[in-house]
Each structure stands twice: as structure tokens, then as C-alpha cells.
Structure 1
């Protein structure tokens, strides 16, 4: 699934989805099982009172985007994320990195390396190990 509009100024899942879409995705990821629209609506109630039709529209848009799978079970539909939260974040970060490299090349690499000074030293170590693996396989 390719996200079309990455929002640089947003945080968390709001970078990839609209605010309500992000809340729906988080409910489904947190529950870790298929849910009906009514179940998602109920889970969202502590945050926001939303109509059934609003939740249904958002969930069906997420199906259209490929973020959710819609399964018929009896007389109702159950929705489940098309991939786990971890897999989603992995795919999206890979896609964003690829796009940055295609468009900005060495500038993107330089900025990423500069930012490494501000992050956890374990991240630098992991990067060094990844570079060693890459060199050994090349």
C-alpha cells in the first residue's frame, strides 16, 4: 500500500492518514482482530462521538486505499488491517527513504548522517553493522 500524501508537519499515524482514519487504524491495530463498524465506533466513543455512517465511510475509504481488508461474515462485514502496524511503518519508511534518495540523492544521505549525531548511539552502531553487511555482500 502506497500512501499518496505524507504530511511532514504532522505526527504519528496522522502523517499517513487523516486524523479520523488514523484513529480507526490505531483501534484496529490495538485490538489485533477483525472488527465490525459498530465495534470500531464503540471503541472510538471515549475519544469522539461519531455516527455509524461517518465511521462506515472512513473505514470503506481505508478499504479503497488498501489499508483495511473487508470480510463478509454472515450478515455483517468485519474489517482488519491489511498489514500489521510494524509492517506498515516498515513499508512506509522504506518508501519515503527511497523517494528521498531518488529526488535528493547525496543531500538526503548527508542530512541523515548529520541527524545521527542527535540520536541514540545504538542507532549509529546498527547503521555501522548494516554498512558492514552491505559491503560483505557486494
Structure 2
């Protein structure tokens, strides 16, 4: 799974994550153009590119395609973090650099997540 490239791809992904189900190109376009003018074909191209990257799936609905995110926002974020970490030659140093940059609140959330992960891994 690759990261969305650019502001418009990220904005489209935000619309898909916020939706209760799959959205057509027109539905995504309508939601995005409430904030800024965009060509319908631009949104169609972005959705097609996201589909080719494996970030969205599509299904035929009538004469149109409806798109839905393959993973939740949280799953996607975790995948990006894992990919970034995989690119590090020194993982402990990368972890330390990350921890030095996050807020105290995020550090507490990370500690809680680690405790939860440890409990899951220790279960038979």
C-alpha cells in the first residue's frame, strides 16, 4: 500500500474515510467542490490513481464506479509508519527520534498502546 501523493489525493482519501460507504466520483467531487473549485475529471483521475496504487477499491454501481478506502485511516497511518521504519538502518535511533518529537499526550497514548500490544502477545 503506497501513500497518497499530494494534497488532492489526501483530500479525496479524507472524503472516503469520512463516508459511511462507497462514494461515486460525483459524490466525492460534490464534497470537495464545496471548499474549492475542481474539475470533475480531475477527481476522476485522482480516484483512478488511488485505485491503481491499491489505496481504494471500486465497484460498479449502475453506470458509475463507487470507491471506498481499502483500509481505515488508522490502518493506513500504521502502514505508513511501518514503511518509514523499515527504511531506517537503525531502528532504535529512529524510535528515539520519533518519541522526542511527539507530545506528552501522544507519548502516553503510545505507552498505553505498547501495554495493550504486550498483553495481546502474551496471550496463548
TM-score by structure 2 length?
A: 0.78
> What residue number does 1:44 align with?
32
Alignment of structure 1 residues 89-100 onto 2, 5 Å:
89-100=77-88
Matched, 1:126 2:109: no
Other-structure match for 2:10:
22
Call closer, same or farther: CA 1:38–1:104 in 2, change over 3 Å: same
Ranges in structure 2 where 5+ consecutive residues have no aligned partner: none
Summarize the Cα distance change of 1:78–1:99 in structure 2 as closer, same or farther, 3 Å threshold: same
Corresponding residue of 1:2: 2
Cα distance in 1 between the residues matched to 2:86 and 2:98: 13
Report how many aligned residue pairs link the two structures: 122
Kindly indicate whether the alpha-carbon contact (under 8 Å) linking 2:2 and 2:55 is maintained by their aligned counterparts in 1. no
Answer with 124-133 or 56-65: which moved more: 124-133
Deviates more, 1:53-62 or 1:89-98: 89-98
- Superposed CA RMSD in Å reads 2.8
Give the structure, 1 or 2, with the largest relative contact order (CA under 8 Å, sep 6 or more): 2
State the Cα deviation string for residues 107-127 of structure 1 (Å, max 9, x = none): 3244345447x5236246437
**Cα displacement string for residues 42-71 of structure 1 (whole angstroms, at most 9, x for unaligned residues):** 001121111111110111011011111111
TM-score, length-normalised on structure 1? 0.71
Q: Which runs of 5 or more structure 1 residues have no equivalent in the other structure? A: 4-15
Match of 1:57 among 35, 45, 52: 45
